[in-house]
Structure 1
């Protein structure tokens, strides 16, 4: 089998019997190289299918012009929206993008971090799948001069640029909406404990109940994976055990959709008998009936700001690290 070989400056120089530096200068349009030589070099380069090696050129300037993006999953639209927005900004600034997902697995996340390091990325934008497990890796990469911008799910025990929404405040406001609409037995479908946002939303849930002097019932707080099947399972178990509840506040919209699906399959009316709401608020919240009330995160702005922050740190490693808190919007729909 014939192995493909990329044409190099060396190949062109050998063919024309001139130096590699002359070929390089001719290809860059250097006027110190004669017009005749420039034309010969360009013509032969086109004929031989020469393509400029951007990676080698960038590394000579101590930059790869590449940014890595690591997300926990790409099943829900939220992370895809953030990636697309960040990539648009990075493309405009001449950066290439490497995208990986950890599949909610810290070991896979660690592998992805090493992959980014091996590809000599200039910086990393990421959302973590666990609060603590890979902290040493984050610190090590920072010490080696690779800046990291964390978004949405951010570790608290590291000084770095972070782009978030105020989970606690928005969760409090959503709970207040449910309580003021007459709901007293609110089920909280919490995310897994390993995710930083889970604790903020749980705290808001408990504090809201306390504010309105509603007793906290441990039976009504369930931790689980942010998956549709989990929402279905929890509601199925609650209905079988005949544990009363009149509203659901969920960690994410896939949980909300799973809960809604099973509730409706049992002939229970939403929102008349049970109200449902949760975080994220992508288009998924609008393609079900009734449409879901949601804390809509500004995913496009989150991607843009994260990209701007990593570019700032790449261009000026000594620039300050900020925690940027974006405003999320509570969108009231038919489900509450």
Structure 2
């Protein structure tokens, strides 16, 4: 017997034609007697038959599957997005296929090709690299597969996007730090191949300029995403003996790595060094001291991304939209102004 039970297997079991089995399993009661339909249905269930959804998709030109591709699963941000998006899509009658790229553009490309082969009706993608895979993004869009980019996006692809206003929230965070006393602010940036990284660095620099604080390239460290990378770049920086009073991270994972290193070196947070980051999640509340962070409206992002995807599926001629959402600064213990901190009056 074959690995998967087929209509042919059921027909051979019962000694009837494949066409009769096919009509019965599709519910064609007008051409199949009731007792025959019941016998076929019971036999199919007993033998473990499952309908070939791929074949059905080919006939109907719709799989009722939506693909979601994310760059990592370390933080709760993407898991929250997936959970909320999946609930919304299921209400619309769609199943969800999920793939993670693990911050690897080759794996990201393979994920997109896999989703193509599965003939998904649409894609929600947060990219791990805005440079290497632009060609396949364009190819998928040109084939008429609706794509909505979220969080990490690509600028030169004709697809709808839902993103966080990284520039303005980075600017606001650094502005708030300066107003409360920070002067020598270290920035742990994201990689240059992530659009968010550029926008957050730009906000950092413009906030310094607003307060006439000279930009010091020595205070912008090597890029980091993981806690291990954050720890390493912070260690390399502190070994140089450069004066600093604050650390502003691209994301919470790299910032937590840097924070741990700072504390191991004997410095107190926030008395000696203040720390904060963008892209904060519940992780920021599970460490000591708790970390001040810009939190993105992840559920709203999922809602907007699903709305746009459904609209593109319903109307292939719909023009791409760029939806920009505003986050919130959550002030916590890591940036508290203490009696040891100098404050600008």
Pairwise TM-score range, normalised by the shorter structure: over 0.9
Deviation at 1:297, TM superposition (A): 1.0
Partner of 1:177: 176
Give secondary structure in 1 for the equivalent of 2:271.
coil
CA distance in 2, matches of 1:19, 1:134: 49
Superposition TM-score, scaled by structure 2 size? 0.90
Listed as ranges, the matches of 1:248-259 within 5 Å are 248-259=247-258
Give secondary structure in 1 for the equivalent of 2:278.
strand
Partner of 1:24: 22
Partner of 1:93: 92
Deviation at 1:94, TM superposition (A): 2.8
Q: Is the 8 A contact 1:231 1:257 kept in 2?
A: yes
1:47/1:111 CA distance change after superposition, 3 Å? closer
Runs in 1 of length 4+ with deviation above 4 angstroms? 14-19
CA distance in 2, matches of 1:310, 1:65: 13
Q: Is the 8 A contact 1:84 1:303 kept in 2?
A: no
Deviation at 1:16, TM superposition (A): 4.2
Deviation at 1:34, TM superposition (A): 2.9
CA distance in 2, matches of 1:262, 1:152: 29
Partner of 2:52: 53
1:229/1:7 CA distance change after superposition, 3 Å? closer
CA distance in 2, matches of 1:146, 1:319: 12
Partner of 1:131: 130
CA distance in 1, matches of 2:174, 2:127: 26
CA distance in 2, matches of 1:299, 1:147: 21
Give secondary structure in 1 for the equivalent of 2:148.
strand
What is the number of equivalent residue pairs in this alignment? Answer: 334
CA distance in 2, matches of 1:201, 1:256: 14
Give secondary structure in 2 for the equivalent of 1:222.
coil
Give 5+ residue unaligned stretches, structure 1: none
Q: Is the 8 A contact 1:302 1:326 kept in 2?
A: yes
CA distance in 1, matches of 2:207, 2:236: 25
Partner of 2:343: none
Partner of 1:285: 284
CA distance in 1, matches of 2:58, 2:289: 54
Give secondary structure in 2 for the equivalent of 1:319.
coil
Asked if residue 149 in structure 1 is aligned to residue 148 in structure 2, the reply is yes
Give secondary structure in 2 for the equivalent of 1:67.
strand
Give secondary structure in 2 for the equivalent of 1:194.
coil
Deviation at 1:17, TM superposition (A): 4.8
Deviation at 1:4, TM superposition (A): 4.1
Q: Is the 8 A contact 2:188 2:224 kept in 1?
A: no
CA distance in 2, matches of 1:145, 1:165: 26
Deviation at 1:304, TM superposition (A): 3.2
Give 5+ residue unaligned stretches, structure 2: 336-345
Q: Is the 8 A contact 2:186 2:248 kept in 1?
A: yes
Deviation at 1:59, TM superposition (A): 2.1
Deviation at 1:327, TM superposition (A): 2.4
CA distance in 1, matches of 2:160, 2:187: 30
Q: Is the 8 A contact 2:65 2:97 kept in 1?
A: yes
Deviation at 1:192, TM superposition (A): 1.0
CA distance in 2, matches of 1:31, 1:100: 40
Give secondary structure in 2 for the equivalent of 1:273.
coil
Q: Is the 8 A contact 1:85 1:301 kept in 2?
A: no
Partner of 1:111: 110
Deviation at 1:73, TM superposition (A): 1.8
Specify which of 4, 7, 22 is matched with residue 6 of structure 1.
Answer: 4
Q: Is the 8 A contact 1:123 1:146 kept in 2?
A: yes
Q: Is the 8 A contact 2:24 2:41 kept in 1?
A: yes
Q: Name the stretch that deviates more: 83-92 or 136-145.
A: 83-92
Q: Is the 8 A contact 1:87 1:307 kept in 2?
A: no
1:7/1:240 CA distance change after superposition, 3 Å? closer
Give secondary structure in 1 for the equivalent of 2:317.
coil
Listed as ranges, the matches of 1:241-252 within 5 Å are 241-252=240-251
Deviation at 1:225, TM superposition (A): 2.2
CA distance in 1, matches of 2:20, 2:232: 69
CA distance in 1, matches of 2:151, 2:198: 13
Q: Is the 8 A contact 2:221 2:237 kept in 1?
A: no
Deviation at 1:313, TM superposition (A): 1.8
